[in-house]
Each structure stands twice: as C-alpha cells, then as structure tokens.
Amino acid sequence: MAVKKEDPKRSQARLIGNVLLLIGAGLLAINIFLPNLFAPPMARVPYSLFVHEIEEGHVARVYIGQDQITYQLRGVSPEIPGDVISTTPIFDLNLPERLEKSGVEFAAAPVQKTGWFGTLLSWVIPPLIFVGIFQLFSRNGGGAPGGLQIGKSKAKVYVEGEATKTLFGDVAGVDEAKQELQEIVQFLKTPEKYTKIGAKIPKGVLLVGPPGTGKTLLAKAVAGEAGVPFFSISGSEFVELFVGVGSSRVRDLFEQAKKQSPCIIFIDELDAIGKARSSGGMYGGNDEREQTLNQLLTEMDGFGVDGTTVIVLAATNRPETLDQALLRPGRFDRQVLVDRPDKSGRLEILKIHAAKVTLDKSVDLETIATRTSGFAGADLANLVNEAALLAARAGRETVLLEDFAEAVERVVAGLEKKSRVLNENEKRIVAYHEVGHALVGALNSSSGKVEKISIVPRGMAALGYTLQLPTEDRFLLSKEEIEAQIATLLGGRSAEEIIFGSITTGASNDLQRATELADKMVTSYGMSAVLGPLAYQKQQNQFLGGMEMARNVSPATSEAIDKEIKSIVENAHTKALAILNNNRELLESISEKLLETEVIEGDYLTGLLAQVKPVEVNA
Ligand code: ADP
Ligand code: ZN
C-alpha cells in the first residue's frame, strides 16, 4: 500500500478541525450548507442527471439555492462520504415531491449575507468549517480524503530525492520478479537507447501475487532505481458512485504523469476497475467502472507516440478476473509473478526488517524463517514490529527470541482467519502428500518430468504443489499413460495413507481430477473393455448455462459406467500404494528434506527421483 505522507498543511488543518469540533455539532450542521460558497472545483451536472440520481436513490441530501442546487451523494460507508455535486435549477415544481418520495433530506441554501462583516465571515469561516467537515469525515477513516474533490486525481507523487526512496535492496525474496523488473529500470533510465533503433518500450506491466508480497514496494523500487517520479493510485479510488468521475481522474492522472516523463504510474488493485466487462451484464453492468476502464485503455494506447516514457505498473491478485482487453499487446502485456517467499526468501526479508530493531544476540533469524511458512513479506514486517512492541512493553532494551515466538503466534492467529498458514502437523502431511505425487509421477514419464516440489502455500487453492512439466507436446495419450496419470494424482493421498494411516481433506481436488480422467477414458475415449468403443458423454443443457445433465443411456449402462470408472480409479490407487510402499525409505527421506527446505527442484530433485524403483503390477 502506498505510504501516505501527511503534509504540514494538512496536519495544521487537522488541528483547527479539532478545535472546531469542540465548538459543537450545531455549527457542523450549518457547515453542510456552505460548501457552495467556497468549494472551488465542484462538479456540475445537468439537471436531468440530478433527477436520475434521486430516482436511483443515490442522493443523501440536497440544498436548494436560487441559482444553484447542491447535493451530496450517499457515501460508500460512514468513513467515505459521497461526492458533493451541483446543478443549475430549472423550473421544476415537482422537485420537493420527488425528494420527499425518495426520502432525501432537503433544505434551502442559506441566504448570502452582505456587508463587510458578512463578507469577511464568508471568507474566513467557510474554510475553517470546511476543514471541520473534512475532519469529521476522515476521523475514523484514517484520513480517507473526503468526497469533496471531484475529478482531480488523488494520485500521490513521490519525486526522487524524497525521504521515501526505495531501492531493490529493500525488497527481498522475490528475485525473479526483481530480475524481470530490472529491464524496466533500463527502459526508464535510457529510453533513447531503445527508441532510437525503433524498439517499442512496454507500457504496462502487471504484478500478480497475493496481498502483502511486496508489489507496491517493487513498483516503488523500480522508480527509485531509475530515479523517476512515482505516481500511485488504487483502483478502488477510481471507482466512485458517480458516472464520469473515474474516467476524468484517469485522464488527469495520465496528464500529470506525462508532464513528468519518464515516470511510473502504479495502479494498486487493478481488478477493481479492470474486471471483465461481461461479468456485471445481467445487472446492467457498472457504467462507471466501464467508463474508467475504457479511459485507461485509451490513455495507454495514446501515450508513447508523443515521445513520453510512462510505464504503468499495476498490481492484482486476481488476474483471471481482468478484462481481456487490458492484457492485449501494447497494454499490460507483461506479467510478473510476485509470490509468497520460500524459507530463504523469508530469511532475507527478515534481515531487512530486523535491521531496524535492536536484536538480542540469542535471536536466530533462520529459526524464525523456518517457523513462518506461508507468511508474505508484509506479515514478516508486521512480525518484527510485533516482537519489538512486546519487548518494549516488557521494558527490555533488545528483542528476544521469545518475543518473536509470541509475535509469531499473534500474527498466525490473525492470518489463520484470512488465509492459510499451516501448523507443523499439517505441514508434515502436505510434505508427504506432495512427495507421494512426485514419486509416482517420476515413474510416469509420459506426463512430463517432475520439476519442483513445494510446500509453500500458493494462492488460495493449493497447500503445496508438485510441478510436472511436459517434456514435449503431446496430442495422443495411450490408455496406459492416462492410467499412470491417474495413479500420479492418487499418489498424494496414498502417501498419507501409508505414513499417517489416515486421510485428510487435502486430496479432494486430486480425486476430482482422477475421477474426471477415468470418466473420459470410459465415456469419451472408448478405453473400457466392458463398455466398448462407444461415446457416452453427458448432455449439456444450454439453458442452464451448460450445466451437465444425466447421460442419455439406460440405467444398466449407467451403472456399468460408474463401475468401470470406480475400478479404473481403484486400480490406479493400488498401483500408487505399491510404488510408494516399494520406495518407502525414499518417501521419508525426501519428505523430511522438503520439510526442511520447503522447495526441492532442479538437478537435485532429478537425482533423488532417479532412485525410485518401479514395481511390476499385475492388477
Ligand atoms: P502488496 O502491494 O503486494 O500488497 P506491499 O508492497 O504494500 O504489498 O507490502 C507492504 C509492506 O510489507 C512493505 O512496505 C514492506 O515493509 C513489507 N514487505 C512486503 N513484501 C516485502 C518484501 N518482498 N521484502 C521486504 N519487505 C516486504
Ligand atoms: Zn495432491
């Protein structure tokens, strides 16, 4: 998240605001009448739109003046009040009735006083009161800017040389991402080098990864390394209730940025604007988001031709929800994965953050790295801070290992609610499960070479994973090869059975995929001797969104199909169990190693898996 630096003017304003609050709620009630006396750039909309907003129930309150109607939209929450907008009144006798019907608060705007005193008051008091409102609005919201500024981009600019100068050295555990972004730094530093020979500089890079893994930090570091200004804005800030505001903000942001070329624009939570457009179709879509998205696309297509170098970095943890138009060449056509760190990555991150606190000699960061599997960078930063707080609370000068132990528990308790962090026992199970896949997979070369085993939780779905990459493109698979794939899928569960004697819920996805493959063998590929070379696919119902319906076969055939599928899966299960029993020592030694390092890959893994002994199964 972007660090919001409070400028001195604003904190001064806060002080005055506080005083004002003391003056009382009465004054605040009047405040709301006054924005129209001084608010500088208030959006002005046609009267018809105003009426539309009322009918849609978007309007919270209305002040009707002689030559101006000012109204405030309903806020998203008490912390984020709605925008204040004005319109020019027309002769509309139905207005009060309309307002009443929609339950909108309304009042007449105050009459402007004249005379020197009144003039003075209208110059001095309103700004003060404005601050008061602002203060009131942002009191619980941690400084969420009030909705009173419309159209102007809220992007914060970090110019090189400011205190917040971030470099690649401040980011750890994401070496691949750093390497890929190194090139972007070069583009920003010496754009001429590339444009001179006619190369096009990429415009958009998408940073994909779970929250807190350092995407914002990386974007800042790119700016810091290249020594260019950094504009940052969050996708959710773009999306306002009021149509047209988001797109004008995008336009404004790019205008500001182009003036400072070369520079970086960072858009956090891109999915908030970039969601696929069809997704809201049934409910009439979201005009505002669509307009904002279109504006973003237009801006990205537009720049670069005029010799400016603006690179847009955007972060998301849900790339699959993004509109395809965003991912086309010339837009966000590069993706950089920023994943949770493995153990050595966590150690590096801990080193960075621990350098800011005074550690006791007894503290071994490696031990802490081992115990924080599944933590993202932000969790580790939080952990170090928690530990330091605990030490300070106990009146100690240095942070002890036990502070970290307690802090880990606190952070884990917080995380368990949000995402998955495995306890020791679960980690063991996942390790054996994954090694089970790998050992069975090692004997099944048709589906590829096992490249990597990991028990670092990835994304939201998998607790661990075994990566098997095809060594060549395959279009045809034999019956034996599919059977071997099913056995590999069952390898995880089989290992759990052998080692722990019990099974967990972790294998459900494996079982589903295994069953689907077996189903295809029987009903689509004609690979079952019992049912013969016939196709028995399920019917798709085009009205229920392609939902699968029952097969169009007799009950007896249906039963036979189920029996065949079951027998294929069971045979594969027996085979997987046999392989693992035959290689039990290897299963244990690799699993223990995996628990230690969390990731095993490359030649080392190949060497280990070469030791797997095949079994002759005559099932
Ligand atoms: P994201 O944008 O991916 O949600 P942030 O960049 O906002 O994550 O991370 C929040 C904070 O967590 C950072 O300011 C930094 O202190 C810490 N942090 C996160 N990832 C890393 C990392 N890879 N290396 C060092 N610190 C990190
Ligand atoms: Zn599995």
Q: What is the mean pLDDT of residues 92-97?
A: 77
Q: 213: Cβ below 6 Å to ligand 1?
A: yes
pTM of this prediction exceeds 0.85 = no
Of 388, 617, 604, nearest in space to 483 by CA: 617
Which range, 229-233, 466-470, 539-543, has the best average confidence (pLDDT)?
A: 229-233
Q: What is the mean pLDDT of residues 307-326?
A: 86
232 lines ligand 1 (CB under 6 A): no
* In 521-561, beta strands by DSSP E: 538-541, 547-551
Q: Is the CB of 314 under 6 A from ligand 1?
A: no
Q: Which ligand 1 atom is at minimum distance from the Cα of 170?
A: 25
Q: Is the CB of 384 under 6 A from ligand 1?
A: no
Assign 470 a pLDDT band (cuts: 50, 70, 90).
low
Which of 244, 237, 234, 233 lies closest to 290 in space, CA to CA?
244
Mean pLDDT comparison of 107-116, 246-255, 301-310, highest-scoring range: 246-255
At 349, list the tokens: 């991150």
Give how far Cα 58 sits from Cα of 355, 381, 428, Å: 50, 41, 53
- The two tokens of residue 180 are 């890929």
| Distance from the alpha carbon of residue 378 to the mean position of ligand 1, in angstroms | 5
Cβ–ligand 1 contact at 210 (below 6 Å): no
Question: pLDDT category, 300, cuts 50, 70, 90?
Answer: confident
* 349 ligand 1 Cβ < 6 A: yes
Question: pLDDT tens across 232-269, in order?
Answer: 888 777 665 566 777 888 888 888 888 888 889 999 88
From the CA of 171, how far away is ligand 1's center (Å)? 8
Helix ranges restricted to H, 394-500? 401-418, 424-442, 479-500
What per-residue confidence (pLDDT) applies to 169? 92
| Active-site amino acid positions | 434
Judged by its nearest atom, the ligand closest to the C-alpha of residue 173 is: 1
Tell me the pLDDT tens digit for each residue of 564-618.
Answer: 999 999 999 999 999 999 999 999 999 999 998 888 888 899 899 999 988 865 5
What pLDDT sits at residue 3? Answer: 40
Lowest mean pLDDT among 139-153, 344-358, 383-397, 429-443: 139-153
Residue bearing the CA closest to ligand 1, atom 6: 214
- Tell me what the mean pLDDT of segment 467-490 comes to: 76
Ligand 2 centroid, distance to 172 Cα (angstroms):
29
Q: Is 214 in the pocket of ligand 1 (CB under 6 A)?
A: yes
Ligand located closest to 164 CA: 1
Residue 281: is its pLDDT beyond 50?
no
| pLDDT surpassing 60 at residue 358 | yes
- Average pLDDT over the chain, rounded to whole? 77
Q: Tell me, letter by letter, the H, E, C secondary structure of 298-350.
A: HHHHHCCCCCCCEEEEEEECCHHHECHHHHCCCCCCEEEECCCCCHHHHHHHH
Measure 597 CA to ligand 2 centroid, in angstroms. 19
Among 222-236, 350-364, 437-451, 466-480, where is mean pLDDT lowest? 466-480
Residue 124: CB partners within 8 Å, gap ≥ 6? none
What pLDDT is stored for residue 275 in this prediction? 76
- The reported pLDDT for the residue numbered 520 is 86
- CA gap 565, 517 in Å, rounded: 9
Q: Is the pLDDT of residue 468 over 70?
A: no
Which ligand is closest in space to the CA of residue 462? 2
Atom of ligand 1 nearest to the CA of 217: 6
- Decide: 591 in ligand 1 pocket, CB within 6 A: no
Ligand 1 mean position to 218 CA, how many Å?
A: 8
- Report how far residue 562's alpha carbon sits from residue 523's, in angstroms, rounded to the nearest whole number: 10
The tens digit of pLDDT for each residue in 5-45 reads 445 555 565 555 555 555 554 444 454 455 444 444 577 77
Least distant ligand from the CA of 220: 1
What is the average pLDDT across 408-421?
Answer: 66
Two tokens at 43?
């959006």
From the CA of 211, give the closest atom in ligand 1.
4
Q: Express each pLDDT in 44-62 by its tens digit.
A: 777 888 888 888 777 888 8
Q: Which residues surround ligand 2, an ion (CB under 5 A)?
A: 492, 510
Q: Which residue has the tokens 């009950």?
A: 555
pLDDT of residue 372: 84
221 lines ligand 1 (CB under 6 A): no
For residues 94 and 99, give the distance between their C-alpha atoms in angstroms, rounded to a whole number.
9
Q: What is the pLDDT of residues 145-181, one digit of tens each?
A: 433 444 455 555 544 434 458 899 999 999 889 999 9
Does 345 sit in the ligand 1 pocket, CB within 6 Å? Answer: no
Strands 263-268 and 230-234: parallel
> What is the number of the ligand 1 atom nearest to the C-alpha of 1?
7
- Of 335 and 35, the one with more pLDDT: 335
Closest residue by Cα to atom 12, ligand 1, is: 378
pLDDT for residue 477 is more than 80: no
- Residue of 156, 164, 167, 217 with the most ligand 1 atoms within 8 Å of its CB, for mutation: 217
Q: In angstroms, what is the C-alpha Rg of the chain? A: 31
Instruction: Determine the pLDDT at residue 329.
Output: 86
